[in-house]
Amino acid sequence: MHRRLVSARLITLLRIVRDSATVEYGRIADLNALNRQLITMIGGAGGLSSNALVAYTGHEKAQISRAVKALEAMGLIERASLRAKLMLRPSGQALFDQIVAISRTRDEALGAGLSPEERDSFSTMTQTLTVRAAQIYARERQLSAEAAEAGNGPPQPPIPSFEGEQDHGSIARLIGPQLTSLASYLRRSAMLAYQREQGLSNFQWMILSQIGEYEPLPLARLIEVMGRDKSQVGRTVAFFEASGLIERQRVARKRDIMVTTTDRGAEVYKLMCEIAIKRDEALTGGHDAVERKAYMAMLDRLQANARTMVAAQREDAAGD
C-alpha cells in the first residue's frame, strides 16, 4: 500500500532528507529544524506575521509561539509590536545567508536529474497539495472537535496562500522547505483521523502499517525503517502485542525477532488502509492520473538522490 500513497512517499522522503541535514546545518548554528525553518521563511519573505508562520509551516500556534520566543531571546529576530511582522536582526540575517547557501547546495544534490520544467512542475504541485492538506487538516480538526464535544469546533486554522509572496534569496521553490510544510499538515490531519476512527496515534498507525504491509517483519528492520528511538518503537510494539494486534516470534536458529499481525490486527490494518487511501484521494483529487503519476515518479527520484546524500555523508564521516 505504501507505494500507492503520495503521503507515504512524502513522509519517507522527508525522513531521509532530514537524516542528511543534521550535520550540515549543525556546523553553523545549534538550532533545531523548526527554528531553521522560521529563520528561512522570515528572511525569504522579508518579514512574516506569527499567523503566516503557522499557515506556512503547518505547525500549531503554540509551537510557533515558543519557537519565536526562543529566536527573539537569541537576538535573531524582532518585531516592532506584538502584531507586527517578525523581521530578521543583523545576526539573524547573517545566519539566514548561511542557511540559504547550504540549502541551495543541498537542493542541487536533491534535485539532481530533474529538468527546470520538472522542478517548476514539482514545486507548483507541492504548493497546491500543501493548501489542500491544510484544508483537510482544518476539516479533520472540526470533525474531531465535534466527536469529542458534540458542539462547535475550534476556530479554523489559517490556510496558506502562495500567491503574491515575496522571495528574497530565491528560496521559495527549494524542495526541502516545501516538503516540510506539506508533510507537517499531513501528519497532523492523519493523527486526528486515525485517533478518531481507531484510537491510534499517527506513529502507532505507521508502525502497524509497516508490519501489516511487510509481515513477517524483523523487529530490527522495523526500527531501522521508522528512524526513531529504539525504545519508542519497542514500547509501541509492546502496546500492540498487549492489545492483541500483533505477535512476536523468534525465528529458529536465528537471532531475529519477527513481528506479524494477529487476525484482529489484520482487520484493523485493513480498515486503516481504507482510511489512508481515502485521505490520499482527497489530497490529490484535484489532479488527474497523469499528473499524479509524474509527481510520484519525481518523489521516487528525489528519494534516490536523498539516499545518495546520506550515503556520501556516512562515507565522509568514516573517512575522518
Question: pLDDT tens for residues 171-186?
Answer: 767 888 888 888 888 8
Q: How far apart are CA 12 and CA 257, in angstroms?
A: 24
- Domain assignment of residue 57, given as a range: 2-158+170-199+287-319
Residue 320 scores a pLDDT above 70: no
Q: How many domains does the chain have?
A: 2
Stated pTM of the model:
0.80
pLDDT tens, position by position, 272-311: 889 889 999 999 988 999 999 999 999 999 999 999 998 8
Q: How far apart are CA 203 and CA 226, in angstroms?
A: 9
pLDDT tens, position by position, 231-254: 989 999 999 999 999 999 877 666
Examine the domain organization and report whether 121 and 233 are in the same domain: no
What was the pLDDT predicted at 82? Answer: 81
Number of neighbours of residue 296 by Cβ within 10 angstroms? 16
278 found inside a domain? no
C-beta of residue 306 within 8 angstroms of C-beta of residue 17: yes
DSSP 256: P
Nine-digit cell at 138?
A: 482544518
Examine the domain organization and report whether 257 and 217 are in the same domain: yes
Examine the domain organization and report whether 184 and 310 are in the same domain: yes
Average confidence (pLDDT) over 246-275:
86
Examine the domain organization and report whether 65 and 91 are in the same domain: yes
Question: How long a stretch of residues is the chain?
Answer: 320
What was the pLDDT predicted at 147? Answer: 54
DSSP assignment of 127-194 equals HHHHHHHHHHHHHHHHHHHHHHHSS--PPPPPPP--TT---TTS-TT-HHHHHHHHHHHHHHHHHHHH
CA 173 to chain centroid, in Å, comes to 17
pLDDT tens, position by position, 40-68: 999 988 999 998 898 888 888 889 999 99
Average confidence (pLDDT) over 121-145:
88
Spatial CB neighbours of 2, under 8 Å, sequence gap ≥ 6 = 8, 9, 12, 209, 213
Examine the domain organization and report whether 72 and 216 are in the same domain: no
CATH number at residue 56: 1.10.10.10
Examine the domain organization and report whether 315 and 254 are in the same domain: no
Q: How far apart are CA 202 and CA 197, in angstroms?
A: 12
Bridge partners of 248?
259
Residue 150 scores a pLDDT above 70: no
